[in-house]
Amino acid sequence: MRTDAPVSDAVGGWPADSGDALSMLGMLQFADSFFPSGATSFSWGLESLKLDGRVGNAEQVFEVLCAHIEQRWAGFDRPLMHAAREAWVQRGAAALNEALELDRVCEAMNLSRGWRDASRRLGFTQLRVHADLGLGIAQVYLDQVRAAGMPGHLPVVQGLIWGAYGLGAEGCDAMAASGLCTTVVGAALRLGLIGHTEGQRLLARTRPLVARVMAMPPCGVDALWSGAPLLDVAAMRHEARAGRLFAN
Amino acid sequence: MSAQLNPHARPRGAARVGIGGPVGSGKTALLEQLIPRFMARGTDIAVITNDLVTAEDAERVRRSGLIAPERVLAVETGACPHTAIREDPTLNLAAADELDRAYPGLELILIESGGDNLASSFSLDLVDYWLFVIDVAGGDDIPRKRGLGVLQCDLLVINKVDLAPHVRVNLDRMVSEAHEVRLGRPTLLTNCAHGDGVDAVVERIAQEVLFDR
């Protein structure tokens, strides 16, 4: 397996051959809400759904979570992340051109500006932080975003960066899905839709669904799909709101 | 591996100065007084605001006519404002990066936090220097409450000093206590409604972060 910077380097410079434990600790670090990613600024449609009276309780927040995992992430972000990671695993730094092409596909197929901008901004923050941590491929890709105007979409960046740390496909799935769920639940908490205990219940309830998605092979990049019209409309309506706590 | 070892280390962009403080203390008013003074000094400047719920501060600065509107970026915080300037300042860093790319000669970015509590502070990875703005109307006991903002900021600004007699604040004691808890680090007094004392703030920022520019 090719690695740019072993995950051990990003968690304190321990020996790189300590294997699974270091990878697991690295995954916990990168997926933790303490990891600076900018995610807290995004509600992924929840704020508009609340303002429009579509979501008002924990059960409806759960439906939003399920829609995100099943109807958006499973068929769109996840396959892109896997394709970028696999490109790194197979070709190392030579995967850059393939990643850039995946980035273009992600830009072209993201329906609403709210999703596109969020994906670009969160991809940028990941690149920036990992570049600052010393991950070479993150700096190279960041330079492409800065100089060549590449979008730097989140799932492509996740796949490339986490692949460069040598993290496995299943771990990347878990990190990406749990990051998305935590972000939405955190937004629900701040929007006053749920309390902290209910938030943890929702995350636990979402796990089986995430596991079912993870058990299936990701579709090919030529078969990307998403189908969550209510979320898409919420994202579009959010763009025009003057008073808002979240960016999407 | 550390960032210092990175052969692709980012080029240094504009100096970044944070402005934090409680709601209503006069952060935006200070910003509006700082902008024309730095522009008069010939400093190439841009602004980032962090607003809670609205883009009101950003719009206020854009419409002020003091600075080209495209040089003012707004960051939605999605949470208590200190989150976006301390625990996770990545979106502010991204905004600063965007300004650096858009304006290659940029020298100074002023980053205004959303109004927050006395425990708010800036990440040292986000700013080179930061101000904490309090005002006399908030009570003369603020310095001795020893909030992180008061204790840790590079420059404490006590604003609305003209109101002191009207809100029964002993300004001398307030300043003395500020000096005491800050172990002598600088404190300046302003009335941003009229610009009193702002020249000294500009001078201090220029000395501390623009000295090599």
**pLDDT (tens digit, 9 = 90+) per residue, A56-85?**
999 999 999 999 999 999 999 999 999 999
Residue B213 pLDDT more than 50? no
What letter would DSSP give residue A53?
Answer: T
A247's CB contacts (< 8 A; 6+ apart) are: A41, A42, A117, A118, A121, B76, B78
Q: What is the predicted pLDDT for the residue at A124? A: 95
Residues of A whose CB is below 8 A from B53: 243-245
Name the pLDDT band for B4 (thresholds 50, 70, 90).
very low
Residue B9 pLDDT more than 50? no
What residues of chain B, 162 to 191, have a C-beta less than 8 Å from chain A?
none
> What are the E-state strand segments in B138-183?
155-159
Buried b (16+ CB within 10 A) or exposed e, B86-97: bebbbbbbbbbb
Average confidence (pLDDT) over A174-198: 94
Q: What is the predicted pLDDT for the residue at A40? A: 87
The residue whose two tokens read 């940028």 is A124
Q: How far is B17 from chain A (nearest CA, A)?
A: 20
Using the beta-carbon criterion (under 8 Å), do B90 and A5 form an inter-chain contact? Answer: no
* Chain center to CA of A77: 7
Does residue A126 lie within any of the structural domains?
Answer: yes
Task: Determine the structural domain holding residue A118 and report its residue range.
Answer: 43-239
Q: What CATH code is carried by the domain that includes residue A213?
A: 1.10.4190.10
DSSP B39-59: HHTT--EEEEEEESSS-HHHH
User: Residues B158-203: pLDDT tens digits?
Assistant: 999 999 999 999 999 999 999 999 998 999 999 999 999 999 999 9
Cβ proximity of A209 and A66 under 8 Å: yes
Residues of A whose CB is below 8 A from B84: 40-41
Using the beta-carbon criterion (under 8 Å), do A124 and B94 form an inter-chain contact? Answer: yes
Using the beta-carbon criterion (under 8 Å), do B91 and A41 form an inter-chain contact? Answer: yes
Average pLDDT, chain B: 89
| Structure token pair of residue A223 | 């078969």
Residue B8 pLDDT more than 50? no
Residues of B whose CB is below 8 A from A26: none
Other Cβ atoms less than 10 A from the Cβ of A57: the count is 11
Q: What is the predicted pLDDT for the residue at B38? A: 96
A68 by Cβ neighbours in 10 Å (0-12 / 13-18 / 19+) ranks as buried
B91 touches chain A (CB under 8 A): yes
Residue B11 pLDDT more than 60? no
Residues of B whose CB is below 8 A from A134: 1-3, 5-6
Average pLDDT, chain A: 90
Does residue A123 lie within any of the structural domains?
Answer: yes
Question: What CATH number is given for B12-209 in this structure?
Answer: 3.40.50.300
Sign for the CA dihedral angle at A83, A89, A91, A92 comes to: positive
d(CA B148, CA A32): 25
Q: What is the predicted pLDDT for the residue at B77? A: 81
Does residue A7 lie within any of the structural domains?
Answer: no
CA closest to B74 among chain A residues: A247
Average confidence (pLDDT) over A204-220: 97
Q: How far is A99 from chain B (nearest CA, A)?
A: 19
| Structure token pair of residue B6 | 């990175």
Name the pLDDT band for B5 (thresholds 50, 70, 90).
very low
Q: What is the pTM of this model?
A: 0.85
Q: Looking at this protein, which amino acid is placed at residue A166?
A: G
CA closest to A189 among chain B residues: B79
Sign for the CA dihedral angle at B61, B66, B68, B73 comes to: negative
What residues of chain B, 70 to 89, have a C-beta less than 8 Å from chain A?
75-79, 83-84, 87-89
Helix (H) or strand (E) holding B15: strand B15-20
Residue A182 pLDDT more than 70? yes
Rounded to 5 degrees, φ, ψ at B46 are -145, 170
B35's CB contacts (< 8 A; 6+ apart) are: B45, B47, B61, B64, B66, B67, B110
Cβ proximity of A15 and A21 under 8 Å: no
Does residue A84 lie within any of the structural domains?
Answer: yes
Residue B7 pLDDT more than 50? no
Q: How many domains does chain A have?
A: 1
Does residue A230 lie within any of the structural domains?
Answer: yes
What letter would DSSP give residue B5?
Answer: G
Q: What is the predicted pLDDT for the residue at A240? A: 81
Average confidence (pLDDT) over A99-114: 92
Residues of A whose CB is below 8 A from B93: 125, 128
